[in-house]
């Protein structure tokens, strides 16, 4: 039965792949590429279940700036800042996992597998290993040559549903894609500073019990932890499932945008559908992840294949 479900997902996702990306791109040039990435993810998950949320966030923050080109991985230096220095990216993490996978790939097949593909594959594997769907990822992305913090303008947690839809449509993603991808909050966390206004005064859209729990969490702030975090899914915070949608249907959304998904007429039908049908969410989540992974990709001779994901390759002198 599992093979049958996987095959159906493959058939429904494959048409979304760009012409220059294809499933099994490294079949000849680096046959073990995907298994090497998956092994690195599996090792990390055994000691840190939160890495799934970290990779989902990294993938999103990468794709929504210059496209899925691994520009988020570049380190700043004395001469220039990178996307890592932008405010929304200061808490992005998981870079060392990408480094680990890249090091193993370079030892096996040097200069073949892009850092952009490593992010995409690692995210897919983390989703699957955390109980989510397995889906086939078209590969063949190239790494970008620019990483500019001034270009980082990501949709934030205080947006209305209409504003979030506009941000996603700018990347050729639909309303359905937007609601589906926000389902990644099923394994997410948020700092108190992102939702403090919802718990410091009465909010009729938030469950009273949840508000009291969040006030207790945020009230424990200290010098060593000035901005505590709370799970966005109070039910199964480390599992990729449809519990997030069930929670927001019960007024248990932590961030404003999460709860508005369940309240806004534009999105609540989709939310209700996912809350009632776990299989529907799994299928649509896989499709939306593949679609997001295709945003403004570099292929062919564009960009480069970095040897170190944190730095651009040395420029060749002509």
Is there a binding annotation on residue 233? yes
* Integer Cα distance of 43 and 100 in angstroms: 10
Cα-Cα-Cα-Cα dihedral sign, residues 167, 89, 157, 117: positive
Whole-number Å distance between alpha carbons of 142 and 115: 8
* Cβ atoms within 10 Å, residue 288: 24
- Is 61 known to be catalytic? yes
Two structure tokens written together for 189: 């966390």
Reduced to 3 states (helix: H, G, I; strand: E, B; else coil), residue 20 is: coil
> Cβ(300)–Cβ(20) under 8 Å?
yes
Does 71 count as an annotated binding residue?
A: yes
CB within 8 A of 96, min separation 6: which ones? Answer: none
283 is in an annotated binding site: no
**CA 61 – CA 78 distance, rounded (Å):** 24
List 44, 59, 61, 310, catalytic entry: 61
**125 appears as a binding residue in the annotation:** no
- 304 pairs with which residues across the strands? 143
Whether 241 has a binding-site annotation, put simply, is yes
Ligand-binding annotation for 62, yes or no, is yes
Distance separating alpha carbons of residues 3 and 271, to the nearest angstrom: 28
Alpha carbons 92 and 71: distance in angstroms, whole number: 13
Tell me if 185 is assigned to a ligand binding site. Answer: yes
Measured CA to CA, the distance from residue 34 to residue 113 in angstroms comes to 10
Q: Residue 162, annotated ligand binder? A: no
Give the C-alpha separation, 165 to 72, whole Å: 23
- As annotated, the binding site for substrate includes 155
- As annotated, the binding site for Ca(2+) includes 62, 65, 67, 69, 71, 83, 186, 233, 236, 241
Hey, which residues are catalytic here? 61
- As annotated, the binding site includes 62, 65, 67, 69, 71, 83, 155, 185-186, 233, 236, 241
């Amino acid at each position: 039965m599992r093979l049958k479900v996987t095959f159906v997902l493959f058939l429904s996702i494959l048409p979304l792949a760009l012409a220059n990306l294809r499933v099994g791109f490294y079949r000849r040039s680096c046959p073990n590429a995907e298994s090497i990435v998956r092994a690195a993810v599996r090792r990390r998950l055994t000691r840190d279940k939160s890495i799934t949320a970290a990779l989902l966030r990294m993938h999103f923050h990468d794709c929504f700036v210059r496209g899925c080109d691994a520009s988020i991985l570049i380190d700043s230096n004395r001469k220039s800042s990178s996307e890592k220095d932008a405010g929304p990216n200061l808490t992005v993490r998981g870079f060392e996992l990408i480094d680990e996978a890249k090091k193993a790939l370079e030892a096996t097949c040097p200069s073949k597998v892009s850092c952009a593909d490593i992010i995409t594959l690692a995210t897919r594997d983390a989703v699957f290993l955390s109980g989510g769907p397995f889906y086939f990822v078209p590969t063949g992305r190239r790494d970008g040559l620019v990483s500019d913090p001034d270009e980082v303008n990501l949709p934030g947690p205080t947006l209305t549903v209409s504003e979030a839809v506009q941000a996603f449509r700018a990347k050729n993603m639909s309303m359905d894609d937007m609601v589906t991808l926000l389902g990644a909050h099923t394994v997410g966390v948020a700092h108190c500073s992102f939702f403090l206004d919802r718990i410091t005064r009465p909010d009729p859209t938030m469950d009273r019990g949840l508000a009291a729990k969040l006030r207790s969490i945020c009230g424990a702030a200290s010098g060593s932890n000035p901005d505590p975090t709370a799970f966005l899914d109070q039910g199964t915070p480390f599992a990729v499932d449809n519990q997030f949608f069930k929670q927001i249907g019960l007024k248990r959304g932590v961030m404003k945008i999460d709860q508005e998904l369940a309240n806004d007429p534009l999105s609540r039908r989709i939310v209700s559908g996912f809350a009632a049908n776990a299989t529907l969410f799994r299928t649509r989540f896989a499709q939306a992840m593949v679609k997001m992974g295709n945003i403004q990709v570099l292929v062919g001779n564009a960009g480069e294949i970095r040897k170190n994901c944190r730095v651009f390759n040395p420029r060749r002198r002509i």
